[in-house]
Chain A
Amino acid sequence: MAIHEKSLIEPERLLQYDDLVVDGVDVSGHWNTMITPRTLRDYDEDFEKTIQSYGGGEYVHRCWQCGSCTNSCTMYAQNTQFNPRYWIYLTRLGLKEELIKDKDIIWQCVSCNKCTNICPKDVRPEGVMKALAHWMEDEGITEKSPSTHFDEEFADQIFKTGRIEDSHVLMHFFKKTGQPLMQGWLVEFGKRMTKGLPIAQMLRMGLNMLFPPKTKSWGRTGEVLQQYVREQKEAAHG
């Protein structure tokens, strides 16, 4: 029987020959579609240790697969392919290839930490998601996110000099993320800086420290956000 639901099968597992004759019968094209088995043939015991070496992944070995993390997950509610429970299992058994198949969604964790709050074994799944995303960046499986570039630049400067220099962070960040150095807003920022004396600037910064400024034109934004959250909850739980 011809297979109609090919979309359910990973493309690399579908075998089809344009020209194939079996026992004198022409089974070319559509008629010889076969699926390679999905059998798992080995574990990689060291992979769990690798993930544990990343910040946040330390407690992945505690997991007993109850699924509380996936149940509580904000992203799972949006996309049932986003399954922390499953990825933790793959991590524990070292099924890397399976993990890599989900490389385009693992990083989508929004760090709401509901999983970490609910986990009965204190696995801290949110940290595991971070660890997995970082491992994938390090291995070149996924590109580094801009925030990772920023974090690295930020940390590098601290490591080197014990402090950070804003302009250096920005320059290197732009360079690593392929952005032009002369950006419109930055040029404008510089121009305006020169308009006032440094003393006035320092005074403003000092005042801002004592009296945190409120975002301009915040207006009804807070109310709107609250309403959105309420609607989402009602949609999810009825």
Chain B
Amino acid sequence: MNLTLKIWRQKGPQDKGQMVEYKVTDISEHMSFLEMMDVLNESLVAKDEVPIAFDHDCREGICGMCSLHINGEPHGPDRGITTCQLHMRTFKDGDTIYIEPWRAKAFPVIKDLIVDRMAFERIQQAGGYISVNTSGNTQDANATPISKIDADLSMDAAACIGCGACVASCKNSSAMLFVAAKVSQYALLPQGRVEAADRVRNMVAQMDLEGFGNCTNTGACEVECPKGISLENIARMNREYLKATII
């Protein structure tokens, strides 16, 4: 298939950047979206042009590195997938595809389609962990009984790969689905309850400090999340926050 691509090019953080049009030909419908980008980059290198910078790592939907806002949606038009799992058969021959970086003040562009997602790391560092002494005398995790329901809900929340699609899709650039997933995965387990109040207070404070917008419950994040993180987690975070600040 032959495609027209409109891709955001930006030399560096200070550059203004612009959309640039490219044509790609003979793209196989079996390629993943990132393979199509590889083909484009090979052609650019062959012409002595600077290839397009984009994030990728595992290319099997686990690492959360690939981003790309494709035709107005994070990770493209399909549901429950990352960009590396998006296949070219989703598009039609002759299509024009817009490819942009995640857009949020808290995710500044480093180059072309790569954004700095360290804001998520700083939120994690603010409380997304449990303080365990790893001296060798740690208790066996299975010694603490946990209900199947809570264990499953916690695992569902822990499926978050921190890709940032929630922020990219949200009209308010809110990071609440990400933070809620991290708060929930611990809040649901007895080991996490000990520091639950400090965790939610500190993580929300860091989230606000990073300049993410406020959640208005549009639900776009849940729809676009490649790991199906549910809005129930945001409600849980709201409850945890109220408990930690008022009660």
Specify whether A and B are partners.
Answer: no
